[in-house]
Chain A
Amino acid sequence: EDQVTQSPEALRLQEGESSSLNCSYTVSGLRGLFWYRQDPGKGPEFLFTLYSAGEEKEKERLKATLTKKESFLHITAPKPEDSATYLCAVQASTNQFYFGTGTSLTVIP
């Protein structure tokens, strides 16, 4: 069964305290793994696409990595404006997307 599991469910960090979010997945024929940021009451905002194990993408304080079974979203020296829910999704060979339930990140000044 195709599924995505994200951990932790919630994470509180002090400003400047780096950490990582985890996304583990089982999928039949991975076409892509996607990270999104979602602010309360808003639509998910696309961050990264990763296609194959070993691939890495960076954007400002965020860096996404991919292995055969999981992906990590590393947040370096976070700021309060990085507070949001981060969603992971995979696209299977059926072309369907499966979303995790997200990690709610709070960065405290």
Chain B
Amino acid sequence: DSGVTQTPKHLITATGQRVTLRCSPRSGDLSVYWYQQSLDQGLQFLIQYYNGEERAKGNILERFSAQQFPDLHSELNLSSLELGDSALYFCASSPRPLAGWGGELFFGEGSRLTVL
């Protein structure tokens, strides 16, 4: 158990719909990262937050958005869903401050999104 909690574990929805994925980082971790993992593809970085502020953006679509709340949990919002958005979405947290450190990521179990 990494200590990172993601809900829901599974989600099935239809094209055009909107969903919200939730992540609670490990206790004390300030950084939250979101990744997408599609079938046969590697982990694609979406976005990172540090203590409530957006710090970096990866290949995140404009239909997707995220935020980190004062209690440090994070939500990833996916809207106008398309079939190609079906994937595993992982949240990870890091115990290190952003600047000057190399620090490992601890991943949640993921949210499996299926768009029909």
Q: List the interface of chain A (C-beta within 8 A of B).
A: 30-32, 34, 36, 41-46, 49, 51, 87, 89, 91, 94-102
Contact = CB atoms under 8 A, between A and B. Distances in A.
B43 A43 contact: no
B107 to A, nearest CB: 4
Nearest to A47: B104
B39 to A, nearest CB: 11
B116 interface: no
Interface in B88-114: 88, 90, 92, 98-99, 101-110, 112
Interface of B: 2, 4, 33, 35, 41-43, 45, 48, 55-56, 58, 88, 90, 92, 98-99, 101-110, 112
A34 B107 CA distance: 13
A55 B45 CA distance: 27
B98 A100 contact: no
B45 A96 contact: yes
A13 B102 CA distance: 33
